[in-house]
Amino acid sequence: MWELLARSLEASTVFLFAALGELVSQRAGTLNVGLEGLMLFGGTVAFIAARLTASYPAGLAAALAVGAVLGASHGFFSITLRGDQVVSGMGLWILSFGLTTYLGSPYTGPLGLPRMATLFGLSPFVYAGVALVVVSAVVLFRTGAGLAIRSVGENPLAAEASGIPVAATRYLCVIWGGLLAALAGAVYTLSYNPVWTYNFLMGWGFVSLALVFFSMWNPWILLAGASLFGLMWQLSLSPELVLPGVLSRYVWRTVPFAVTIPILVVISTPWFRSRWGLARPEALGRPYPAD
């Protein structure tokens, strides 16, 4: 049971890193629906770099570098060129899906390095993830920088009038989102499941994106949501631990996705929106200045 819990927490960390970066990016008004692509790219590059150099830090550094570049390119399209953020995000996703399949295929198979050291039986990324939640919550809700990020995402015109550089703030946040998404991919391929296969994520990025919406853009709720989905994901992989012999393993694999849809429906109802829906950044997905 401890094994299941430890694996669940590590799975949660993958969701958490990706969603936390996207949460900050969305708080500043930029939506990146291509989160899965950034994770795929980060994970693939980290895997290749770690395997070639036999070094985990090199893998992580490579992932962060590619995450920053992809985040900045999404920023260039959506902030500087004021393009449609969905087009850019979809572009990043399909670009990453296609290229990582090609780039990673010669490395298909296990990483071949000794497993990363654990701390009290858990991956160090689990602790880093929780620490990042604390830092994100403090920065977003208790500091001037957080106020600037939130105001840029709520009302960029007013933010600019009060002297906040809208474009620079959005760039920083979208690059931060790219960094954390790539890191999430790296945690997957270096620690959670260090075996490269084509399209290894199969929906983790989209579930992470949904988690941002579930979280009401609050890092603490996000931590709870990511933990729940981590556990659910792990159970869907090994249902025999809880319900041996009930339903096909393939049916269990649909559970995290099948649960996501009703949750999306509930948080979209007028009843829910009128009570808790106000946290949605008002200017999310809208270019600034508007056309």
143 binds other proteins (CB under 8 A): no
Would you say 114 or 270 has its CB closer to other proteins?
Answer: 270
Would you say 143 or 199 has its CB closer to other proteins?
Answer: 199
**Residues between 9 and 68 that touch other proteins (CB under 8 A):** 33
72 binds other proteins (CB under 8 A): no
- Of 6, 99, 116, 224, the one binding other proteins (CB under 8 A) is 99
202 binds other proteins (CB under 8 A): yes
146: its two tokens: 């957080």
Would you say 99 or 130 has its CB closer to other proteins?
Answer: 99
- Of 55, 143, 199, 238, the one binding other proteins (CB under 8 A) is 199
88 binds other proteins (CB under 8 A): yes
87 binds other proteins (CB under 8 A): yes
Determine the Cα–Cα distance for residues 4 and 234; give it in Å rounded to an integer.
7
102 binds other proteins (CB under 8 A): yes
Angle (CA) 10 225 136, round 5° = 80
Phi/psi zone of residue 203: left (φ > 0), alpha (ψ -120 to 50 degrees), beta? left
Minimal distance, residue 91 CB to other proteins, in Å = 4
- Of 94, 119, 195, 241, the one binding other proteins (CB under 8 A) is 94
Would you say 72 or 95 has its CB closer to other proteins?
Answer: 95
Would you say 39 or 164 has its CB closer to other proteins?
Answer: 39
- Of 86, 122, 128, 130, the one binding other proteins (CB under 8 A) is 86
Contact predicate 25/240, CB 8 Å: no
Contact predicate 206/36, CB 8 Å: yes
98 binds other proteins (CB under 8 A): yes
Helix (H, G, I), strand (E, B) or coil at 175: helix
Determine the Cα–Cα distance for residues 287 and 186; give it in Å rounded to an integer.
30
268 binds other proteins (CB under 8 A): yes
Helix residue ranges per DSSP H, the chain:
2-27, 35-53, 56-75, 85-104, 124-142, 144-154, 156-161, 166-187, 204-214, 219-237, 249-253, 255-268, 270-276
Q: Convert 102-138 to b/e letters by CB count within 10 Å (16 or more is b).
A: eebeebeeebeeeeeeeeeeebebbeebbebbeebbe
Residue in 218, 224, 210, 227 with CA at minimum distance from that of residue 267: 210
Would you say 261 or 279 has its CB closer to other proteins?
Answer: 261
Among 7-15, 119-127, 142-150, 198-206, the segment contacting other proteins (CB under 8 A): 198-206
- Of 83, 124, 154, 284, the one binding other proteins (CB under 8 A) is 83
Determine the Cα–Cα distance for residues 279 and 284; give it in Å rounded to an integer.
11
Residues that bind other proteins (CB under 8 A): 33, 77, 81, 83, 86-88, 90-91, 94-99, 101-103, 105-106, 108, 198-199, 202-203, 206-207, 209-210, 213, 248, 250-251, 253-254, 257-258, 260-261, 264-265, 268-269, 291
